[in-house]
Chains A and B, each alone.
Chain A
Amino acid sequence: MNVLCLGVSHQTASVEIRERFAVPETRLPEIALEIGALPGVEEAVIVSTCNRVEYYAASGNAPEALDALRCYLQARTPQTFPLRPGESEPFYTLSGPASIDHLFRVVSGLESMIIGETEILGQVKKAYAAASRAGSTSRHLNKLFQRAFNVAKEVRTRTSITRGSVSVGSVAVDLAERIFGNLSRCRVMILGAGETSELTARALLSRNVRSLFVSNRSFDRAAQLAAQMGGEAIHFDQWDQRFSDIDILVSSTAAPHPIITGEKLSPIMKQRSDRPLFVIDLAVPRDADPDVNRLEGVYLYDIDSLQAIADRGLENRQREITQCEALIARHVGDFYQWLTAGPGTPPVHLPVASRKI
């Protein structure tokens, strides 16, 4: 028995190509059944996300199954992507330990656009559940995917691959949680309804902040954004009057000089000595005077400092890859041994060679 993987991903194909092969979630069971019925294919699971479309198959005759898979894809997308016989690009085709290794890497987030992200695990779980419900999986793929989920869990707990944040929005949310703990009691104010501040506010809203105020020079834009996010719009000349209630301020106005100054904050901070204030300044030129960070209880982060933390987070994750790979290689060896020799055989640790057929 062999495990095959045929797919396209953000590493091998542009979004124009990937979108032609994407399978809607509702059609996953149906397509999985069609794949499972192809000559040489005994079991099938389809993983389709915005960054990858992959067909996993268990087969007793790998060359026959791969030909059938290619023909199937050619038939399915004749106009949009005509595949000639024998043409494999932009698809990668993996078999044996390489395909097992690939799945384990995918679920662990090592193949993701943002290394270590965990959303992919949920997406693969959904894809497997859809295939399982449709009856296109059996002993081999059931075991493979269950093992993959265990590997992902082990990678997450035994390495720091998911640690730290790698985007400005997630860094801001992480820092807010390091300051306030649970954000459900926090009040957020957005000053200047720009795109980055909107994204950051949305990231904070995903943690169920208590309330949101939006203030912008154009009140209509503030009202529009407030309505979209379930917040309250405030006239721009009144934002500082609501300031004493705020825990997190996200600022990105087009003001040519600092509008958040020590003179403005100092009296407010004296009234709320045991409540910190987190100022996220995303504007260039900056909205907050850097000296504000010297006030007790005020934590000021500008766009550069947030980006620097995100970059360090990414570097840390990249450093963890080797450890993740060693851990995955052990599981690949175990699983491949089981797959080729059957259960009950003692596990061996095989080196994983990335090979294409």
Chain B
Amino acid sequence: MKVFSQLKKNLKQDFSLLKQIKVALLGDTATQFLNQALRGTGYDYGFDLQIWEADFNQIERQVFDTASELYAFNPDIVIIFRSAHKLVTTHSKLNPAQYVTLANTELDLIESLVNTLNAQLKAQVIYFNYSEIDDGVFGSYANKTEASFLFQLRKLNFELMTLAAKMSGLYICDLSSIQNRVGKTVMFQPSIYINSEMVLSIDALPEIAARNLDIIAAINGKFKKCLVLDLDNTLWGGIIGDDGIEKIQLGTLGIGKAFTEFQYWIKKLKNRGIILAVCSKNTEAIAKEPFENHPDMVLHLDDIAVFVANWENKVDNIRYIQQVLNIGFDSMVFLDDNPFERNIVREGIPELTVPELPEDPAEYLEYLYSLNLFETVSFSEADAARTAQYQNQAKMLQVQQTFNNEDDFLKSLDMKSLVEPFNKFNTPRVSQLSQRSNQFNLRTVRYTEQDIEAILNDENYFTFAFTLEDKFGDNGLICMIILKKDAQETLFIDTWLMSCRVLKRGMEAFVLNTIVDFARSNGYGWLKGEYLPTAKNEMVKDHYQNLGFQQKAGYWLLDVNGYQHKTCFIIPK
């Protein structure tokens, strides 16, 4: 990780080609260095953070006064940093009888800050939790004493998680966790605090800035979706081809515990929705044997969406995995114990993330924890089913090859789609899909759950969520449409996006048939579409043209009344 002075040098770079994001930074201590660290780190993440920094200790005034500079700035992200050091002072000034109320009073204030921001702005709020300070007033007995500062601070940190779980526009930057890892002496330098009102040490700033950028990147659709794994000396100790299944180190054999615990962690990632793939230089049958027969393997073949074991080079194999999954290289992570393979892959596919795994497998986990590779801003139960969906996708590709005629193939799939407006059950998935979809996405507008809720309550909007199931399984919610009343007779297609898992299935025709029917029965004469190009959505450049829309003044128009239903083999459910 870069040090602060290197980040500061980034400030002189050319930001003009980077995506601009407006960030408001409010703190109750001096935040100038944090500001510089955020902008400098943003450069390395590909963002031009336009940061407006509030004057020192102005949080309440800026937020509660709706005529303030904060609202005039109209940020995309609001970062609020209220420090544990100021919290100590607040606690110290209380009447002792009030000590026990500190956490709840603070929580009420925080909730009210976030509610006010959410009501006034279309911004996401990042709130720093509190780095621990044990003031020693009660010794260890503080853990048994509700009035102690430590008790109130920990209660506050815990309740902040509960608050964030219920408020969709609130994310926590886990300062406490960072301090746990780097240590308090790295995190905080008292002499600097006394001289400058700065509580975050210069050494800790790059780490803290990176955690904020991880959240900001995830909000903007940049996050990891897939983990590609080597096998020998990565998932187990030893070489399966040489040592054989009884001698590879797993479980209690040799340093097997390190690999077993590593696999448990990977399994949790898979259960969270990270797609797992294997890329190994091995004979396939031999590579698969531990997955099928080793009693201490935690990962099994059904955890792996794409399994590639052969003697070809890894760059080509990872390219193949990327094609099957149809996701960007920048959303993939490759883990391999061999520095030589890592370098070849890094050179061949620069967009890929290739962590520099430590030499000792015992260090793998702590090292990977520290990288925070798998930031996300959503989690839904559907995530856990993702592996099975990609496996079905791979199976389907095989079946497709046995049909000569595309229509016969599509008919054979028995496809059904459930069409529903957005509702409180599908909102998390809808929001997530808007953040994840980059390729089949006409305007690439990202929606948070909170945005979706606002749309549900706005009578100018009409929403459609589509699922798709076929004989291989249920793909879940894979397409969303947001229509907005544009003029008297016209519906504007604010959002049309689709998961790339269901390309070439006739879904586009089914969707258009559905929204044309809706437009007709509600008295609209025109559908109006727009394509906004990004680095990733060239796939849909001719989408509206292909569907019969006519170009006019930068938009695409479709005469609803002259429209003939398109043939497709998907049946409404």
- Please determine whether chains A and B interact with each other in the same assembly: no
Chain A interface residues (CB < 8 Å from chain B): none
Residues of chain B having any CB pair with chain A under 8 Å: none
